[in-house]
Structure 1
């Protein structure tokens, strides 16, 4: 019996990790649906309007509306990479990510042109059938006209509004090319196009904002009673994607931040949220299968009482998000090139690190050079966590944000590198690995516990402009947490007896699952499932030996158990809060799961081709194959001396590949994990080889004469 327990301890503890991981998947209670508050909803769109266009002097009507209503930053994501005016209006009318502008888009969007046939009371769009067919072929499943089908009557004023108000067969119930006060109460839902604000010239933008504000003032003066007015900057007008204006004012929207289930972040909404918001306010059923967003609501959490301060905060978020994309791409590209060059430079040190047992055949590498290489490897492994911490300072507000970010990151990196290098200078071979892994995991965990402020619009986080994620743990953060939990757990497990190592790995991994998957923290249930698979593999291999068929089956059983538990729990969440796996399982019943699977597959392909982290993953694979796994590379010896490290690296690859595949980010999770893990592995290989031929000194020989005497 004792032998049986000893043999299957790793498998049983891997299963325990799976059971503990289910704690992370307990769904967050759905917010109660908003009570109907309005008889009329008026959505006013101004393409290109940003928060820095609104001032108390130039736009007094908008300023007052922001003071009395709920405000937020609007992500104008559509089915296009660049959302032009037509795409924004059509996405509003579809309640889903749609496309209107045909062909490629130059840096500047073409002028909006909508063919409209006007009749006595309404109008029709002759190209509507082509628009519907074009979006039917996309993987988002958008249906133009879904918003209009949700109400009995819709009024459109202006060409963009006609796109959003047209029914699937092209009919617009009420239409006017110009603003007409008498039409504001003709239907329960009215859409109004007030033109656009384009360019970067402050004078031109101010003039456009004043014209839109004057028109909005007349709308507010003539609005019917019990009406909700929504002002939205529905689109970009060039390749410089930004966050835009979103204000809702009226019954139910009398202050606070705008938020929605699709963002789970106070002060952030999407264009796809506007359609369900309008239907919910009018007490109309919201077609969840057609809409990608959720009805917006208000939250008073953290909004300044001074409207100027609130608007300034949203304008600052827009600036940070716009700068983050450029700086983030440059940072990742520089990091990938620097790490690959560093790995190549370390090859001669690896070849000469092991001291021969006999007479010296080559001069050993001077200790200062080896020490410098160790410091550089530690610094490389800390680069991504340092970039995350750098967002504690508002570098994006400075005149040269790129240089500002670089300076702050280097300062944080210098302090962290000195601390790790000093503490672990005379420690065991994997001490730096455990220390850096703990720092990386704790940095992300602290950010998640405090609201993910560092990841939101951060270089090492996610962009609200892109609209993929607004809260919780992002792709880079997930990679850091996986690497930190598994490598940190391995370093800690090595200090315990062989039989206790799987338990340590399972315990540390379970904590990571909770941080990643809890809807109150990381809110990435798919990532929690992926980490579960990695922890099961790592725990099964922590006692030594390779991943045998028996261990693999037990680890797979634990991972599948958690996945099944997740599927059941995830189906209890509102659809807009489900993970990619939950949405995929939920859509299998109505036959639309293929859209989600296709969307994930296409996203994987695009990310693989465009991400610099793909280069790091491929370079790491070649480096491990042709350098580290060679007889002089040290990786085999590292695995033999420290079995938990072998299990942790195996689990890291499994978890990151699974997470990237399921979440549509390809190798990005693995690339982020390797950016921290591989320099530490190389450093550990150097130290293991340096001590590979250490031998105990023999006792001094006693002369025979002394023995005879």
Structure 2
């Protein structure tokens, strides 16, 4: 029997087969390099022999005035200033929680005995067995409660244990200055009229300026009293001292941003910031304890402080009013954001669910029947209106991000103004998609809406994520979860937009090069999400990496088999490990959250962090309207996938790259949500962006499922005219 010799593969074709894999490898290396680049860490602007911490519960920037509070205004003008987030272990930080958190350098809480709209004043039980110091009788039990019942590992009194001597003036100051066993080194119930020499007896003095509560004339009098007390502090402060003024807590059951001022040698002018926030002009209450120790030249206690030392960034406006009030009043904006965000996402969830319910009968009628008595196709006007509504629904969150560029929050009716501006942007985006020359192409609405979403979020990240900070579709600084980079909602919109856009574009080229398109766009997304200059979310970058690897593995067709999943997982794991190893080589203060988590895992202290993450996931799952959007999106996709009238199987048969994009979005958003403690928030934002136009595209496929078959070779490009047979019916992919 004669053996037939198979023709050899031309050398050029064999080399060409490896080019896509080489491109993929180069993109992965470039992504790793982009993630590894981090800004140089700032250094502390100056040292001091003494630190004076003057705190006032409830003090906000709109309480300050050059006439009524001349001392506070003068210190703010001379010193460095910022917005202080007073997050503690409680959802609302009352005075006792704030003072305790200040002394712990970590999220702590004081036991509460009542509930109501107003916080209890800081009135701990204090005994004075001598004329020098004092004892907090409840301190031991408070420390035990924070260790056993709360997931933050806070040790109240950690700051006092790190310095030689602490002098406290007032009950709130005693709570911050007490050591873990309750002893306050030196104590006076209030600041004496004659303070000469007192502020130099210890290297750390903590002064309670009094609480600021209520509104109107009562509040103004309390602020003036705090300013008068601060004037005596300024007059008696020793040489080479750093004065820190902080609104250490809220005084009502609502979250606000508060005053932060640091004035001393090296702290003259500029914005206060910290590595914990990554945003100029923002710092956290937990950052003050490490700042005190850094200024005094003392090391921070290992594994106890959750904050980072505060630094100064130059180029703030010299006028305090211009810097902190008016159009730059972040506290006023954050209050409006909290109220409007809940309304917006609740309304969005309701409208999208209604839209899906209205789409179901149209999908059912769009399915052509072979029998003579099958239902007629839906009217063309109904289909046209439904398509426009689906496009508008997909553009709602990107439009909300753009609306945050306007000062809607300064209006007396912010919700109505925000809704109107968002509606205008939705209309503009919908018109752009509808009146484009390619609108009748099957994939145009899906790809165009996804591209708009990705561009809006990407441009925001490139310009400093200004639209997300205190934005309705972003995050609020008062919650203390994030201050810079991409938030959970923005991440979901960006991932969905980027991968759907990649899947749509990949349909225009040969199968061999489709993974390259997904990896190139996905690599850009990984860098933008994970870079500390842009998205500043390394955990999100890990999730996007996993999603891109999964999408690239199945973008040429077929299902996500175990070998494909294994290779995708190995590729994502390799990139993640490479970034993690680079991150762990940095000093602890410069590590990202990924490096800190791995460090905690290696030294056995990751338990509290895992407990916090689980609690955050549970809270987000129950509280966020985006959970409803995620569930509604999954149910609608399931209907389109498994019902005879759905059309999603037909869509995936025609365009396997879109099925790959869907798989990648699912993997990325679920990982990002779980690891970041936001549950289905990321997935809900992605569903709100991608599902409406996916339903629209499935509807178009159904409406033309029975159109004639084109002869092989007669093509017009993927996403071409609607008259095209579904190859899934013949077994072709």
Distance (whole Å) between structure 2 residues aligned to residue 236 and residue 473 of structure 1: 27
* Post-superposition CA distance 1:437-488 (Å, at most 9, x none): 1111111111111111110000010100001111111111111111111001
Contact 1:15 1:558 in 2 (8 A): no
Moved more, 647-656 or 355-364: 355-364
RMSD: 2.0
Runs of 4+ in 1 over 6 A off after TM superposition: 1-14
Which of the residues 153, 163, 170 maps onto 1:141? 153
Moved more, 576-585 or 594-603: 576-585
Residue 89 of structure 1 corresponds to which residue in structure 2? Answer: 99
* Post-superposition CA distance 1:611-665 (Å, at most 9, x none): 1111122222222223442121000001000000000000000000001111110
Aligned to 1:82, the other structure's residue is in SS state coil
* Post-superposition CA distance 1:238-276 (Å, at most 9, x none): 122110000111112111111111111111111011111
Distance (whole Å) between structure 1 residues aligned to residue 439 and residue 478 of structure 2: 46
Q: CA deviation at 1:198?
A: 0.6
Residue 702 of structure 1 corresponds to which residue in structure 2? Answer: none
Distance (whole Å) between structure 1 residues aligned to residue 637 and residue 220 of structure 2: 57
Q: CA deviation at 1:209?
A: 0.8
Which of the residues 182, 196, 201 maps onto 1:170? 182
Residue 450 of structure 1 corresponds to which residue in structure 2? Answer: 463
Tell whether 2:663 aligns with 1:650: yes
Which of the residues 68, 73, 91 maps onto 1:63? 73
Which of the residues 608, 616, 635 maps onto 1:622? 635
Question: Could you say if the C-alpha distance between residues 6 and 647 of structure 1 is closer, same or farther in structure 2, counting changes exceeding 3 Å?
Answer: farther
Contact 1:580 1:663 in 2 (8 A): no
Residue 160 of structure 1 corresponds to which residue in structure 2? Answer: 172
Contact 1:25 1:570 in 2 (8 A): no
Q: CA deviation at 1:27?
A: 4.1
Aligned to 2:404, the other structure's residue is in SS state helix
Aligned to 1:427, the other structure's residue is in SS state coil
* Post-superposition CA distance 1:196-238 (Å, at most 9, x none): 1112x22221111111111111110111111111110000011
Tell whether 2:368 aligns with 1:355: yes
Aligned to 2:633, the other structure's residue is in SS state helix
Distance (whole Å) between structure 2 residues aligned to residue 83 and residue 690 of structure 1: 57
Residue 723 of structure 2 corresponds to which residue in structure 1? Answer: none
* Post-superposition CA distance 1:531-576 (Å, at most 9, x none): 0110011111111100112211110110110121121122134545
Tell whether 2:124 aligns with 1:114: yes
Tell whether 2:626 aligns with 1:613: yes
Which of the residues 292, 298, 307 maps onto 2:312? 298
Q: How does 1:224-373 map to 2 (within 5 A)?
A: 224-301=238-315, 303-312=316-325, 316-356=329-369, 359=372, 361-373=374-386
Residue 659 of structure 1 corresponds to which residue in structure 2? Answer: 672
Aligned to 2:209, the other structure's residue is in SS state strand
Tell whether 2:611 aligns with 1:601: no
Question: Could you say if the C-alpha distance between residues 593 and 666 of structure 1 is closer, same or farther in structure 2, counting changes exceeding 3 Å?
Answer: same
Q: How does 1:551-630 map to 2 (within 5 A)?
A: 551-575=564-588, 578-630=591-643
Aligned to 1:423, the other structure's residue is in SS state coil
Distance (whole Å) between structure 2 residues aligned to residue 232 and residue 653 of structure 1: 43
Moved more, 342-351 or 112-121: 112-121
Q: CA deviation at 1:606?
A: 1.1
* Runs of 5+ unmatched residues, structure 2: 1-7, 712-733
Q: CA deviation at 1:358?
A: 6.4
Contact 2:324 2:330 in 1 (8 A): no
Question: Could you say if the C-alpha distance between residues 8 and 134 of structure 1 is closer, same or farther in structure 2, counting changes exceeding 3 Å?
Answer: farther
Contact 1:581 1:662 in 2 (8 A): no
Moved more, 22-31 or 280-289: 22-31
Tell whether 2:528 aligns with 1:515: yes
Moved more, 22-31 or 630-639: 22-31
Residue 42 of structure 1 corresponds to which residue in structure 2? Answer: 52
Moved more, 15-24 or 672-681: 15-24
Residue 703 of structure 1 corresponds to which residue in structure 2? Answer: none
Contact 2:439 2:445 in 1 (8 A): no
Distance (whole Å) between structure 2 residues aligned to residue 251 and residue 504 of structure 1: 54
Distance (whole Å) between structure 2 residues aligned to residue 295 and residue 358 of structure 1: 75
* Runs of 5+ unmatched residues, structure 1: 699-709
Question: Could you say if the C-alpha distance between residues 17 and 52 of structure 1 is closer, same or farther in structure 2, counting changes exceeding 3 Å?
Answer: same
TM-score, structure 1 length as denominator? 0.95
Contact 1:10 1:540 in 2 (8 A): no
Contact 2:88 2:98 in 1 (8 A): yes
Residue 196 of structure 1 corresponds to which residue in structure 2? Answer: 211
Q: CA deviation at 1:33?
A: 3.2
Which protein has greater RCO, CA pairs closer than 8 Å, 6+ apart?
1
* Post-superposition CA distance 1:11-58 (Å, at most 9, x none): 887666544431332141442432652111100011001100000111
Aligned to 2:460, the other structure's residue is in SS state helix
Q: CA deviation at 1:305?
A: 2.3
Residue 705 of structure 1 corresponds to which residue in structure 2? Answer: none
Residue 221 of structure 2 corresponds to which residue in structure 1? Answer: 207
Residue 126 of structure 1 corresponds to which residue in structure 2? Answer: 137
Contact 1:14 1:537 in 2 (8 A): no
How many residues align? The count is: 696
Residue 202 of structure 2 corresponds to which residue in structure 1? Answer: 187
